[in-house]
Each structure stands twice: as C-alpha cells, then as structure tokens.
Amino acid sequence: MISAKEALDRLREGNRRFVSEDWSGETLPSTSRRRELAGAQQPFAIILGCSDSRVPAEMVFDQGLGDLFVIRVAGNIVAPSQIGSVEFAVERYATPLVIVLGHTMCGAIQATLEELERPSGGRSPNLRSIVDRVRPSVEELLETPLRSDPAALTYHAVRANIRASAAHLRHGSQTIEQMIQTRGLRVVGAEYSLETGVVDFFDEGEAWDGGVHTEFTSGG
C-alpha cells in the first residue's frame, strides 16, 4: 500500500484534473476494471463526505472504481457508525489516509446555525441527531461578531465542523489512534468549494500530534 503522503498527492492531482476538466482515462469505469475488482478491493483513501449532491467524492478527485472508500452523511458528521466504517477500512484494507470532506455553503451547517438562532423544537429526532453533532463546533461562533455576517458565519462554521470531525476521528477511536501512531495513518480535513471545484486540504493531520486523547471520547 502507498503512504499517506502519496495518497494525498494522488487526491490533489485528481482534484486538479477535475478543476481543469482534464480527466484521466484510467478512472473511467470499464468492464475489465469491474471484473478485476470483483474479487478484492484496496482503496487508497477513505472519504467521509457530506451527502450533498454537488460533492461526489469520486468525481471531485477524478478517481475510479476501487479507489475510494466513501462514507457520506449530511454535514460530514462523526457518529459511531461513521467511526466504525473508518475502522473497518483501515483495518481491512490498510488504507493510509482519511479525508473529512466538507464544502462551502453546506445546508446541514446552515440548518444548525438557524436552529441555534431560532430554536424550532419541531425537527424529527433523527434530523436533530445531525444538528446536535454539528452544534458543539459552531455554537461558540455565535458569541462573536460573525453573528451579524451570515456569509462569514457559514464559512467559519463549515471549517469548524470539518476540524471537529477530523479531530473526533483522530481521537475518538482507539483503533484509529493506534493506526496513526504506529502505521502512519493520517486524518486530514478538507473543504470543497462549490464555486471553483477546488478542494482545500486546510487541516492536515501529522503522523501523530501527541495531542489530547480524552477531548472527544465522551461524544461517542
């Protein structure tokens, strides 16, 4: 398996191709590739992305069948089933890189900000479970002057939520934490721009930051 850095470079190059519409012929689905992969897969990156229809991971990174292990959920939140999916892939396939892929103008983040400013109380418990996971990373922004600037508030809230999800993955699972420390697994936070198509890898996890280990464990 390639290293985390090589995996990240591959995604950067794929996103460059996507932005410049210079698609790689190798990533197009084909019968032969499908048959080749039927027996086994070895995805080189795990993407935890938002469900938004405008951010399909394979397309924005110009990757093909068998390349990416993708988990999508509104607001790219981290709940136990997302952690479990990441654990499964790093253990089973030795995948060296995890990307938390949020995006500009994310509806789940905007819905959470709206709920914090004007609590409706009327959401279904299922929808609320998403809002509740976004809330801790964005609510302190409402105590700042950003509160009166909706565009800037959304911009910072999206990034805060991506950072929180990446930190939660790094420290909310013993399995993942161990892989980071011993096998060079990296968890990187990135933001996709709906306007430009560019992915900004702004929260690059180092091999092991030796950071706080208890911060995110209680949220599950």
Residues that bind Zn ion (CB under 5 A): 50, 52, 106
CB of 180 to Zn ion, least distance (A): 26
CB of 106 to Zn ion, least distance (A): 3
| Nearer residue to Zn ion within complex by CB, 52 or 191 | 52
Q: Which own/partner pairs from 180-183 qualify as long-range (CB within 8 Å, at least 24 positions apart)?
A: 180/205, 180/207, 180/208, 181/208, 183/94, 183/96
* CA distance linking residue 131 with residue 112, whole number of Å: 5
Strand residues in the chain grouped as ranges (E): 45-49, 68-72, 97-103, 186-192, 199-204
Q: Are 44 and 96 in contact (CB under 8 A)?
A: yes
| Nearer residue to Zn ion within complex by CB, 97 or 100 | 100
DSSP 54: T
Q: Are 76 and 161 in contact (CB under 8 A)?
A: yes
CB of 37 to Zn ion, least distance (A): 29
Q: Are 164 and 76 in contact (CB under 8 A)?
A: no
| Nearer residue to Zn ion within complex by CB, 106 or 188 | 106
| Nearer residue to Zn ion within complex by CB, 94 or 105 | 105
| Nearer residue to Zn ion within complex by CB, 106 or 138 | 106
CB of 8 to Zn ion, least distance (A): 22
* CA distance linking residue 195 with residue 95, whole number of Å: 30
Report the amino acid identity of residue 64.
G
| Nearer residue to Zn ion within complex by CB, 37 or 74 | 74
Q: What is the DSSP string of 135-167?
A: HHHHGGGGGSGGGG-HHHHHHHHHHHHHHHHHH
Other C-beta atoms within 10 Å of 22: how many? 9
CB of 48 to Zn ion, least distance (A): 12
CB of 108 to Zn ion, least distance (A): 5
